[in-house]
Chain A
Amino acid sequence: MRPGETWDADAALEQLYAAHWRSLVRLSVLLLRDQGAAEEVVQDAFVAMHGRWSRLRDPDKALAYLRQTVVNRSRSVLRHRGVVERHAARRAPLVDQSPADDGIAGARRRTAVLDAMRALPDRQREVLALRYYLDLSEAEIAETLGIARGSVKAHASRGAAALRALLADQHAEGDL
C-alpha cells in the first residue's frame, strides 16, 4: 500500500505521530527550551493537521505542514512568554537569576546550548533548528518559514556565528 493513497485522516495521524512526535517535540524544545510547552504546541499541530487532511492528503505535505505549524506556534508562545518574563524580571530586578548548576557537564552543556538558542533572534534560531536538527535543505527551510532562500542563507550564517560566540562566552565564564 502506497502511503497517502488510502490513508484517511485518522490513519495519517497515527502514522505521522509514530514517526515524528518525538522529533517535532524536540524541535520545539530547541525553539522554546520548555518541554511542557513544546508538547502542547506539537499536540495542537497534530490536531490542526488532522483537520486539514482533506486538503493535504499526502504524508510529505502533512509533515511539512506539521513543521510549519510547530515553528509558528513555538514563536507565538515565545513572544508571549518573553513579555511575561520581562515583566517578572522588572518586578524582581535584584534576584540572582544564575541558573542552578547540577554539576553534570553534559546537562550543563545542553542547558548552555538551549540558552544560547533562546538568545538568538527568532529567524536565526528557527533556521538553525531546521537546518542542523531536522537536517532540512535550504529550499525546505524557505518554504517552512515563508521566506526567500537567500534569507535562509543569511540567517543561517549569522545564526551560526552568533551561537558559536554565545557558547564561547559561556565557556569562558564557566572557566573563571
Chain B
Amino acid sequence: MDDLATLLNDAVADVEPTDRLAEIRSATEQKPHRVGWYAAGGAILAVAATVTAFTIMASLDDENADEVGPATPDPTIGSDTPGASPQAVYFVGDTSVGPRLFREFRPTDDGPSPDEALEALRRGPWDPDYRTFFPADPAITGVDVRDGVINVTVQAWVHDRPPDMTAPQAELALQQVVYSVQAGAGEPLPVQFRTGRNPTDTVLGVPTSEPITSAPPLDVLSLVTISDPVESLQVGDSFVARGAASSFEGNVPWELRDADGKVVRSGQVTAGQDTHLVEWETEPIDVSDLEPGQYTFVATTDDAKFTDTRTVIVL
C-alpha cells in the first residue's frame, strides 16, 4: 500500500510548475458576460458550417482529404468496445426542416449514468457537423436522480434567452439536455431544472417551474442518425453500420463515398415503420478492396429530407 504512495509521489517530485497566478488573475478579472457563451456558440456554428462546406469541398478535391476537422472522437470504440454499455448523448445538427437532435455514443467504465451524460454534453460533439445549443460547460453544475425526477442544476445566468437565440432554438437546447440525461438515467423521467436547491422558473426563457418531459421524438430528433461507425472510425476489411430512423416504409438508403465524392458502396436497410425511430443495421460492408484513405458513410431517409454522415478511415 505504502509503496504506491511513495512511487506516485516520487514520480512527480521533480515537477515544479511555473507560476501562473498572473494569468489566472487576468482571466478572472473579466466579468462573465451573459450572452458570451452564445456568441461563442455562434462562432462554433460558423466553424461547423465551414467544416460542412469543407467536407463537401474535400469530397470534390482529394488534395485536402487528409485535413481533419475539430472532432475528437475515440476511433477505437465501435465493434471492439469492451465492457460497459455506452452512453447516448444528443447534439444539434442541420436537416432540411431545420436543426434537429442527433445521437452519439460515448464509451463508459460503468455504464450510462446522468453524470456520464453530463460529462459527454460538456465535452461536446465528436462529429464536426454537430454543435450544442446548451452551454453545458460550464452552465450545468450537477445532475442527480431523486424520487423519480432527474434534477439538473444550472447556473443562474442561463435564466433568460439570449437575444441572439430564437425560442425554438431554446426549446431544442433544453431537449438536448433532457434526452441526454434521460439516456443516462435509463428511463424517460421528468427533468427539473434548478439553480441551487430550488426549481428555476425559466431556463433560456423556457418555462421550467415544473419538471419537463421529452418532446415527441419525431418532433425533435433527426429522422435518421448513425450510431456506428463513430466519427473517424478506422476500419480494416469491413464494418457494420447501425443507427436509428423513421422513414417511409422503413427504407434507409446508405452510401459510402470516397474522397472524390464517388459512391463506392451503396445499399438499403429496413428500419421498420415511420411512427417512431427504429434501430437499423447493415450487413457487414466489405471494404477490403478499397484504397486506404478517408471515406464518408451517408445514411438518409427515403425522402432524403434527413441525412447523417460519418467519416470512415479505411486502413
Contact = CB atoms under 8 A, between A and B. Distances in A.
A113 to B, nearest CB: 4
B7 A113 contact: yes
Sort chain B's interface into a size bin: 35 or more
Given A17-B24, A109-B10, A121 B109 contact: yes
Given A29-B15, A30-B11, A110-B14, A47 B27 contact: yes
B210 interface: no
B19 to A, nearest CB: 8
B96 interface: no
Contacts of A38: 15, 17
Contacts of A51: 28, 32, 138
Nearest to B138: A48
A21 B68 CA distance: 35
B97 interface: no
Contacts of A128: 4, 8
A90 B28 contact: no
B75 interface: yes
Interface string B61-79: 0000000100011111000
- Determine the main DSSP class of A at the interface with B: helix
Nearest to A159: B4
Interface residues of A, number: 53
Interface string B101-113: 0000000011001
A95 to B, nearest CB: 17
B15 A26 contact: yes
A167 B3 CA distance: 12
Interface of B: 4-5, 7-18, 20-21, 23-25, 27-28, 32, 68, 72-76, 109-110, 113, 115, 119, 122-123, 138, 141, 196, 232, 234, 315
